[in-house]
Structure 1
C-alpha cells in the first residue's frame, strides 16, 4: 500500500505536537495526584477527529477523514483502557471507501505527568464498504492495530490526545479480492475527565512548632463537657432466679449505677426497662417484666437514689435479642437467656476536664 505525502505530513504533525507539549510539561511534574494514587482513576471521554489512509486495494488511494468517540479508564499508573468507535470516509474520483470500527485499545503510558507519551495495541471489529465502477461490496472483519501517541493535561479535567496507528484487517466473506487490508490512521481527541482528583495532603515542613503561650496564673476552669454513660444491659440470670423477680444478694453492677447517679443528682428521668423471654403467656410475661423493673428501681432507691428520678417500665417479651428454635425446654431456656434482661437507658453526665 502506498503512503501518501499528506498522511506522512499528518504523522509528522502529531510528532511535532507531542514535542511542543513536552517542553512545558517536563517542568510541571505529576499533575493529577489524588490521595493514595499517582494518577486520577476517574473515567474520561474522548471525542476525536480522524485522518485515514486506506489500503489502495480498496480502490481509493486518497486520504480521508472522519470522527470518533472513545471512553477511557485508567487502571494502573502505567495502563489505560479505551473503548470506542470511529467513522471514516475516503474518495478518489468515482470511487469511495467507508470504514467503521468498534474496538478496544490498551495504552501503555510512559509517564503520568502533564505530558504522557504512550504505546498502544488493540483490536476489534471493522466494517468496510467500497463503491467503485467495477465493484460494490461490503463486509465486517476483525482487525488489530498498534501505534504510539501522547496525552497532554491542561488541568485536572481537560486534556488532549494525539496518536498514530497502523491497522490490519482480516477480510472475510466479501468480494474485495484480497484477505488483508492495511490502514494508517491519525487521531486527535479532546479529553474530558468526569471526576476531579482528590486533593493531595499538604506537605509538612521541617519547622519547629511555635512556643506555647504563657499560662495564666489564675486560669478559669474549662466549661463542662458531656461524658457518655452508656446503656447498661443487666442479665436477668445475674439479677434473678428463673421465673422470679426477687433480686439476689450482691449486685455490684447496680451499686456502680447508683454511685454514678448519686455523684450527679442533676441527672433525671432514667428509664429502667424489664424484659422476659417468649416462654409463658403475654400477660404473665408483661407482669413479670414490670416486677423485675420495679425490683431494680427499689434497689437503687435503697442506695439513696431519689425515686422521682427513676421510671420502671415492663416490656414483656418485646425487642428480643436472639431467636431460638430448640426443641428441648432446658436447651430453649438456655438459648433464650439474653432476652431475659433489665436495661438502664443511656444517660449523659456533665463533668469538668481536669
Structure 2
C-alpha cells in the first residue's frame, strides 16, 4: 500500500443563533403543573395580589421553539370586591439556549374568562388576550425541569360597557415543573476494542489503483451533536489504512463549522467533533500519538450565503458543515 501523507477531516456544525442547542433537543411531550403569583388590573375593582394555578402541556417543535398549551386560574379579593380570571391559550417559547439553563422569550394568545363581583357591578364575560414575557427552564434530570416565567396578559374586553373599561393588563409570575413523558434516547454503546489484525503480506509488484475517500457530515453525526452515528464503515477503512501503514505519524484531524452561532461555541463544537473522530480511531487500535485533533470553528468557509429566511440560510450553509478527507489513499489492487 502506498504511503498516506495526512488526514484532514472537516467536521460539520449546525447550531442555532446565540449558542442554541449545546445539547440535543429532547422531543418528548411534557406536562407542567404550576403555581401563580397574580397582580390584577385595578380597573377590575381590586389590585390585591393573590395566587392561582395552572396546567400546561408542552413540546419542542423546532430548533429554537417550544409550544405550550393549557389553562390557568387566579383570583383576587378585597373586602366585597371579588375578581376571578381563567386563561385558556397557547404560548410560543423562543429558546435562547438549549443548555441545562435555558432562558426564553414568551409570546401567547388565547381567551380569558373574567368574573367581577362587587357592589358596583356583576360581570362574567369571555374575551381574547395576547401575552408576552420572559423566563427560563432549568434541567433537573433526564425527565424533569423547572420553569419560571413573568408575563403580562393584555385583554381586549368584550362588552366593555359592562366592565367600565376596554383593555385590561394583568401580570403573572408562574413557577412550575416540567415532566417529559419519554426518556431521551440512550447514547450509542461504546465501541469495543477490536483484536489487532494480523500483519498484511507485502503487496506484489503489480500496478495498483487508488481512490480518494470523502465523507459527508450526515454520515458522522446527528444534528448539532458530537456523538458519532453507528456504524462507521468508512472510518473503519481509514483505521485499516493507518494500521497497514504504521510509519505514518502526522495524521491531522480538523473540524470546521458554519458561521451560525457564537465564535466560541462554533470552535468548541468543532473541537469536540474532531476529538470524537480521533477517539474512534484510537478505539480501532490506532496509537493516539499518531493522531492530532484540531477545531477551527467557522474558518475556511466554502459557501457564502445572504438568505434572510433562517431555514433557507441553514440549508445554504450546508457546504460549510462539511467533511473533507484529503490525501487518504486506500489501495485497491485490481487483478490483471
TM-score (norm 1): 0.48
Match for residue 178 of structure 1 among 151, 155, 165: 165
1:30–1:114 Cα contact (<8 Å) kept: no
SS of aligned partner of 2:34: strand
Deviation at 1:171, TM superposition (A): 0.2
Deviation at 1:30, TM superposition (A): 6.8
Alignment partner, residue 318 of structure 1: none
Q: Which runs of 5+ in 2 are unaligned?
A: 1-19, 200-336
1:155 aligns with 2:141: yes
Match for residue 85 of structure 1 among 71, 82, 89: 71
Deviation at 1:200, TM superposition (A): 2.5
| Cα distance per residue 1:127-155 (max 9 Å; x no partner) | 00111111111211000000000001111
Q: Tell me which of the two structures has the higher relative contact order, counting C-alpha pairs closer than 8 angstroms and 6 or more residues apart.
A: 2
TM-score (norm 2): 0.50
| Cα distance per residue 1:258-280 (max 9 Å; x no partner) | xxxxxxxxxxxxxxxxxxxxxxx
Match for residue 189 of structure 1 among 167, 176, 179: 176
Alignment partner, residue 165 of structure 1: 151
Alignment partner, residue 51 of structure 1: 37
1:127 aligns with 2:113: yes
Q: Distance in 1 between matches of 2:67 and 2:30?
A: 10
| Cα distance per residue 1:273-325 (max 9 Å; x no partner) | xxxxxxxxxxxxxxxxxxxxxxxxxxxxxxxxxxxxxxxxxxxxxxxxxxxxx
Alignment partner, residue 97 of structure 1: 83
Give the root-mean-square deviation of aligned CA atoms: 2.5
1:158–1:190 Cα contact (<8 Å) kept: yes
Question: In structure 2, do the counterparts of structure 1 residues 30 and 124 end up closer, same or farther at CA, with 3 Å as the change threshold?
Answer: closer
Match for residue 26 of structure 2 among 29, 37, 40: 40
2:21–2:63 Cα contact (<8 Å) kept: no
Question: In structure 2, do the counterparts of structure 1 residues 127 and 53 end up closer, same or farther at CA, with 3 Å as the change threshold?
Answer: same
Moved over 4 A (4+): 202-205
SS of aligned partner of 2:43: helix
SS of aligned partner of 2:85: strand
Match for residue 187 of structure 2 among 200, 207, 211: 200
Q: Distance in 2 between matches of 1:78 and 1:203?
A: 30
Deviation at 1:211, TM superposition (A): 2.8
The structure with more radius of gyration: 1
Deviation at 1:201, TM superposition (A): 2.8
Alignment partner, residue 61 of structure 2: 75
Alignment partner, residue 258 of structure 1: none
Match for residue 103 of structure 2 among 117, 135, 140: 117
